[in-house]
Amino acid sequence: MLKNYDPATYYDEMMQGKNSARRHYETFHRLLENFTLEELHEKHETAQLSFLRQGITFTVYHEEGGTERTMPFDLVPIIIPSDDWERIEAGIKQRVKALNLFLEDIYNEKKIVLDGVIPKELVENNQYYYEKQASGLKIPHDNHIFLAGIDLIRDNEGTYRVLEDNLRNPSGMSYVFQNRFVMRKVFPELFFEHEIRTLEHQASHLHCALLSHVPEGSESKDAPVAVLLTPGMYNSAYYDHIFLAQQMGIELVEGQDLLVKDDKVYMKTLRGLHRVDIIYRRIDDDYLDPEEFNADSELGVPGLMRAYRAGNVAICNGVGNGVADDKAMYVYVPDMIRYYLGEEPLIPNVETYFLTDPEVRKDVLSRLDELVVKNVGASGGYDMLIGPQATPELIEIFRQKILESPEQYIAQPTIQLSRAPAFQDERFYPCHVDLRVFAIGGEDIHVLPGGLSRVALKEGSLVVNSSQGGGGKDTWVLRKGDDAHA
């Protein structure tokens, strides 16, 4: 089945040679050999139809012929052995704990700046640092990070590295569940031959963690009311919002459904106003409250920050989290771990160059064709240059961008992202992959077993982002024991 599949010099998640599967893939590889290409094609089509019929969509910007489409799905899962997962889980908890301590510190005492660990200007000049709005707030559990999406890659040695921290509105958790649902539907036989960590109860865990953020001013501490605040159906992650609200059993609301009265938040219902205690917001800070952010915003709720400051409502994720997941601040996360926790980082970063340094900038500009350049404030793979794949014209555009605003960009070496087999158009071929791991913060930090494996389905592409046309794979974390199947 994979006779013509060549891992080449890349680290391949499944194959360690042309004809040899890695040990934890051996059973899957053997079972895969039992299918004909026609059967696999039929299962592939069934999977795509399942996504279409369920309306599992994602919005792709800048694509001709409409913006909304179903999420492409690939039937070859990413399988992670239990030992590898234990290291990932510990590393993610360590990182999120340090990032949360940083947010609590930077909006209160600012010790890490006063001690010279992080440059003052890097914080104060950050476009997502909302000192006026977010300083001195009393937050349940001092927890700013209810849901984090940490992006991991593996280099050509197979070492996991953190590529990016997402602490504002990380999307994609719904696809983790739907990928598993579709995979079980299409390949039920595979699940009887593997011991996989289950995703069951993870939505309940998410709900419990959300409700644990009940604010001091709540009148219903034993039964707080939570809602998910969405910008609406035109948001790229709207399906994600619907799914999570349904799974947690909370209302999905837009800004116009809420109002603030006497510094308390109420939801408009057919039975009158209903007090709201906790808001899981999927609206960016700038649009959250027109009284304190963008005055033209019609997405948010006027007066929401007053209610938040009065302790009458909790907002998850916290306001101003963007200062911690900025791509320039990313460089300092290992220092945060050492400063706050007194530990060495369990998962390393990717080497990163600051372009504000004239000597570094000169060096980077001389070899743009071999580096990756990113806008520190952008996400989703936008405003990014992948030097080895870029045209001379695009490289020149980024050269000018860097010269005009060097503080707005960072550069990294082009990592040889690991690859895994993908089955599309009735053939297997290698595609680059990454892994978004979700950490849920409440009274403690819980890591969802698995995560969203994203795959660059365009052969040779390094861009795995869903918003840029990437697809998804199911992610299996193998169990050590003999617990129930996923």
* Model pLDDT, residue 380: 63
Going by pLDDT thresholds of 50, 70 and 90, the confidence category of residue 486 is: very low
Q: Is the pLDDT of residue 407 over 90?
A: no
Going by pLDDT thresholds of 50, 70 and 90, the confidence category of residue 466 is: low
**Dihedral sign, Cα of residue 81, residue 86, residue 89, residue 94:** negative
pLDDT tens-digit readout, 315-332: 999 999 999 998 889 999
Q: Is the pLDDT of residue 334 over 80?
A: yes
Q: Which amino acid is at 95?
A: R
| Cα 36 to Cα 48: distance, rounded to the nearest angstrom | 19
Residue with tokens 């569940």: 177
* Model pLDDT, residue 8: 81
Closest to 213 (Cα-Cα) out of 305, 98, 315: 315
> Which range has the worst mean pLDDT, 237-241, 254-258, 276-280, 465-469?
465-469
* Model pLDDT, residue 449: 96
* Model pLDDT, residue 65: 46
pLDDT tens-digit readout, 366-377: 999 999 999 987
Residue with tokens 């969802």: 448
Query: What are 198's two structure tokens?
Result: 């289950």
* Model pLDDT, residue 469: 63
* Model pLDDT, residue 444: 94
Residue bearing the bigger pLDDT, 61 or 105: 105
Q: Is the pLDDT of residue 468 over 70?
A: no
Going by pLDDT thresholds of 50, 70 and 90, the confidence category of residue 3 is: confident
> Which residues face 147 on adjacent strands?
440
Percent of the chain with pLDDT over 90: 76
Going by pLDDT thresholds of 50, 70 and 90, the confidence category of residue 381 is: low
* Model pLDDT, residue 71: 78
**Contacting residues for 16 by C-beta, under 8 A, at least 6 apart:** 7, 22
Closest to 448 (Cα-Cα) out of 194, 173, 195: 173
Cβ count within 10 A of residue 484: 10
pLDDT tens-digit readout, 74-93: 999 999 999 999 999 999 99
- The reported pTM is 0.92
> Which range has the worst mean pLDDT, 304-318, 331-345, 386-400?
386-400
| Cα 398 to Cα 12: distance, rounded to the nearest angstrom | 31
Residue 129 DSSP class: -
Q: Which amino acid is at 87?
A: R
Q: Is the pLDDT of residue 70 over 80?
A: no
Residue bearing the bigger pLDDT, 44 or 483: 44
Q: Is the pLDDT of residue 484 over 50?
A: no
Cβ count within 10 A of residue 365: 18
What residue ranges in 168-239 does DSSP mark as E strands? 226-229
Residue bearing the bigger pLDDT, 473 or 424: 473
Query: What are 82's two structure tokens?
Result: 């239990």
Q: Which domains does the chain have, with CATH numbers?
A: 216-312 (3.40.50.11290), 353-413 (3.30.1490.270)
Q: Is the pLDDT of residue 231 over 70?
A: yes
Mean model confidence pLDDT for the chain: 91
